[in-house]
Structure 1
Amino acid sequence: MQPVSGIARPLDFSYPTNRAIVIFSLAVFVTRTAATALTGIGIVGSTIPGAAAGLAVFLAWALGREVDPDHAYSALLAAALTAAALLVLPVFDVITLLWLLLLLRVVNRTTGRAATTTDVALVLILTLWPLRQGFLIAGPIAAAALILDGTLRKPAPHRIPAAALALAAAATAFFAGRGTAITTPPLPIGITIVVATVLFLRAIVASSTVRSSGDGGGGPLDPGRVRAAQALALATALVALPWNPAGVAPLWAAVLAAGIWQVWLMIRKNR
C-alpha cells in the first residue's frame, strides 16, 4: 500500500515483537469468542465481540508503537494492559481507535513518508464515525493533526482546507444534536489517569532524541513530530474521558505503558 499511502505500515514478521502481537491478538480473539459462545450465543454473535477484542488489543499495540517508537516492548505492555481491561470493560470502539492511530501517523510520519491526498480523505471519512457517536471534539482533533502536519518540519501542503472540513463536520454534528452527555470517571480511573499522565510526560521529554527510523528508511524520525504526536495522543485521551472513559482505555494503556517503560529504563540505568 505504500506507493499510494503515507500512513500504511507493513507488519514485518522478522521482528519478534511483531510475531508476538499477532499471536497474542489471535489468542484474545479465540478466548473471547469461546467465552461468549459459552453463554449460549451463536457462532456469529460470538465471533463479532471476539474479533473486536482481538483488534482492540492489536490497535493498543499499534498505538503504543506510535507514542513510543523507540521501545517496541512498551507497545506489547499496552496490549497486555488492554487485554486485562477487557476482563472488566466492554469491547472497545475499534473504528475510533483506528482513526486516532492514523492521525498520529499523519503527524509523526513513522512510515517515513507524508500522508497522501487519499490518506487525508480516509482520515476525514473516519472522523465522521466518532462524531456520529457524539464525540464532537473529534473534529478539532483531526483538524489539529492536519494543521501540525502542515506546519512542522517538511510541511505537507494543502492541509488547511482539510482541517476546515473536519471543523465543519464537527459543527454540523453539534447543530444536529449529536453530542453525548458528559460523565465523571470513577475515582480509581481518575487516579490511574493522573499517574499515567505524569509518567507519560517523562516519555515526551525523553523523545527529544529519537533513534528509530521511518519504515521507508533514511535518518531517524523527527523528534518534533514525534513529540507533537505524543502531545496529541495525550490531549485526545484527556478530552475523551468525559465522553467515554472506558472507550479510550486502549489509548490510555499505550500512554501508561510508555510511561512505565521510562520508569523501568530509569531504574535499570541507576542500578
Structure 2
Amino acid sequence: MSLRPRAVVVHRRSEYDDLIGRHGTHGQAEFYLAQRGRKIADVQQRHAALDAAMAEVSAGVPVQWRRAEVERTDLDRFVFGPEDVVVAVGQDGLVANVAKYLAGQPVVGVNPEPQWNPGVLVPHAPEAAGVVLVAYARGAAVIEERTMVEAVTDDGQALRALNELFIGHPTHQSARYVIQTGERQERHSSSGILAGTGTGATGWLRSAWQERRSDLPLPLPTSPELCWFVREAWPSPATGTSCTEGIIADTHSLVVSVESDRLVCFGDGIEADAMSLSWGQRLTIGRSASRLRLVR
C-alpha cells in the first residue's frame, strides 16, 4: 500500500524569533533595536506576516494528507520521503536552501511578503497554497524543472546547489588551484570560483558577470548549461588570468585541482554545509542529475 502524500512545510526563523532568542525578552529586544534607530513594531509586523502565511498554508493542506514542518537550519538532519510535497514559505532563497536536499520531490513556493520578496521561486500567495496542492494531487499542476549544479570530489563527496557553488579559501586568503575545462587549463591564485545555473545567473553569478562586463551569454533557468567565473584572478609568473569564465555544456565539466592546504566548496551561500578540500584533491563540477521540480 502506498503512503498518503505528506506536506512538508519548510520555513526559516523570523528576525523577531532571533531577537527574542538572543535577548530573552521583548523589552530587551526593543531596547536593542532602539539603540540602532529601529522600531520593533516593524520586525513584529514581518513576524506576524510569516505566522499568518504559515496558518494559511496549514489550513490549505488536504485533510487526508500527512503533515510535517521543518525549520531551515534543520534541513540537513531531516529525512524527506518520496511521497513528500514540499511547501517552502519564505523568500526565494529558501527554495534554493531546500532544493539540495531533495530527490525529485515537488516544491510549492509561497511568498508571505510580496512587498519584500520578488517571488521568482515563491510565486504563490499563502491563500493559494491549498488550491495548488489539490491541483498537484490531481495531476493538473504545471511542473517547471530547473537545472542544478553539482560538485564531486575524487574521494566521493558530493554537493548540489540550485543557484551556485563557491570554491575558494575559507578566509580572505588567496585560493590556489589549477582549473581545467576542455583543452583550456591554467594555474590560478584568486578569490575563488563561482559556478552555477541559470537560476543563479540572476544573483551572485550575474554580479560577477556585470562587474567584468562579460560578453558570456548567461544560461536560462531551465537550460542544461552552467556558467562559471573566477573572482579576482592574480597575474604572476606562476599564475594566469586568461581562463576565468566560461560555459559548461550539458555533458562537460569544470575540474579544479587544489594547490592550497585547504579550500572549501559550499552551495547557495550555506557556509556551514561545506566540503573541505586539501592539497592534491580534484573537484569536478557539472550539471546535476537531480533537478528542482517547481510547482506552478
> One fold, TM greater than 0.5?
no
Band of TM-score, shorter chain: under 0.3
Higher helix share: 1
Q: Highest Rg: 1 or 2? A: 2
- Answer 1 or 2: higher relative contact order, Cα 8 Å, separation at least 6: 1
TM-score, normalised to structure 1, is 0.27
